Structure 1
Amino acid sequence: MLKIEKIAELSQVELELLYIGFQQKWEKLLKKKTFQEFCRLYQSTDSRERYYRIMEAGELAGVFGISGFFSRKKQVKGHKKQVSDWRWYFGKELLNDSVARNECYLSFLVIGNAFQGQGIGKACLQFIEEQSREKAEIKCVTLFVSTSNQRAIALYKRAGFEVDRKVSSLLTKYFVDEKSWYKMKKRLR
């Protein structure tokens, strides 16, 4: 049975799933192809995301993060930013979007390979929509997706998301090897 649960932070195994889900982008951004380096930097980054773990029959099936006015910024204490980490922080800023007060932003959704094609992504989107509808201020759910990720785009469209705009950036092409993105939106009210 599918279970979606809020978690305070991503564990090592959840970070590994996130890393694998976007491995090509992370490695391009980091210029170091190690999971340990990804963990060090990801855990040192201030964040507004609320994290969720997806369990299926007692196994980790996926993770996702959402943010909006309802989420508080989590500041990491005791970590000094190093000049050598500039690519990470600059790249993360490029991938961030300012979230309007009336929106819920899906910053990432990763379903493990063994669990894909089973409706888990759809169930997560329904969960996010239900959570968002409970907050009267939230009028829409938004996300960014690479224009080359046709499988994800199809999932989002089936769930009622529409392309709000196309964004192209030579900087994101340089840092994460993706030039074109769709901002997709699902209106709730």
Structure 2
Amino acid sequence: MEVRFLGPDDAEELVKIRLEGLQTDPDAFGSTYEEAMQVSMEEWRQRLSQGESGDSGYFGAFVKGELAGIIGFFRHRGLKARHKASIVSMYVREAYRGTGVAKALMQAELAYLKERGDIDTVQLAVVTTNPAAIRLYEKMGFLPYGLEKRALKNGDQYFDESHMYILL
């Protein structure tokens, strides 16, 4: 398995796996498949062209050349909050779940954020209906700091989110 920072040349594969995740696990994400379809490939290439010093980005895990999973981050913008980053868009294809891909992605992203030297707190939100993800995050050292009731709504169904953090 190879885990690496994704660049503009990876845009098509990133979009493909992101759309797959939004279709297979729609309750786990804040955006919808329909919203994601509105983002042009050019915009994705632009997002991925910041390079490793940018304030947002994605890592991908490749198994035998196939993109098996992704994890994204963004740095908070305000001067008093720039020491924090949020993890977003964690998704592992079903065939690769339970194989260590998610752990490898999280380890790579946390190592990268720590190595930057200007980020010391990482946050994430996870729907409470995903106990496997919560267990992984806890094993990685994340601690809960809040529960947001009805954080997401899909149709008539609400989903609570556990907010978690780790200090680097």
Per the shorter chain, which TM-score range? 0.7 to 0.9
CA contact (8 A) 1:29 1:176 kept: no
Paired position in structure 2 for 1:113: 94
Say if 1:66 and 1:114 are closer, same or farther in 2 by CA, change over 3 A.
same
Match of 1:42 among 27, 39, 43: 39
CA-based RMSD of the aligned residues comes to 3.2
Paired position in structure 2 for 1:104: 85
- Most deviating of 2-11 and 13-22: 2-11
SS in 1 for 2:38: helix
- Greater strand share, 1 or 2? 2
SS in 2 for 1:160: coil
Match of 1:181 among 139, 142, 161: 161
Q: Deviations over 1:88-111 (max 9, x none)?
A: xxxxxxxxxxx9311121111111
Alignment TM-score, normalising by the size of structure 2: 0.75
Alignment TM-score, normalising by the size of structure 1: 0.67
* Structural mapping, 1:143-182, within 5 Å: 143-169=124-150, 172-173=152-153, 177-182=157-162
Taking the aligned partners of 1:61 and 1:125, their CA distance within structure 2 comes to 13
Taking the aligned partners of 1:119 and 1:183, their CA distance within structure 2 comes to 23
Offset, 1:187 = 1.1
Paired position in structure 1 for 2:119: 138
CA contact (8 A) 2:70 2:105 kept: no
Say if 1:103 and 1:9 are closer, same or farther in 2 by CA, change over 3 A.
farther
Offset, 1:9 = 7.2
Q: Is it true that 1:56 corresponds to 2:63 in the alignment? A: yes
Paired position in structure 2 for 1:13: 13
Identity %: 23
CA contact (8 A) 1:7 1:52 kept: no
Compare CA radii of gyration and give the structure with the larger one: 1
Q: Runs of 5+ in structure 2 lacking a partner?
A: 48-54
Amino acid at match of 1:151: A
Offset, 1:39 = 4.5
Q: Runs of 5+ in structure 1 lacking a partner?
A: 71-98
CA contact (8 A) 1:5 1:54 kept: no
Offset, 1:176 = 8.6
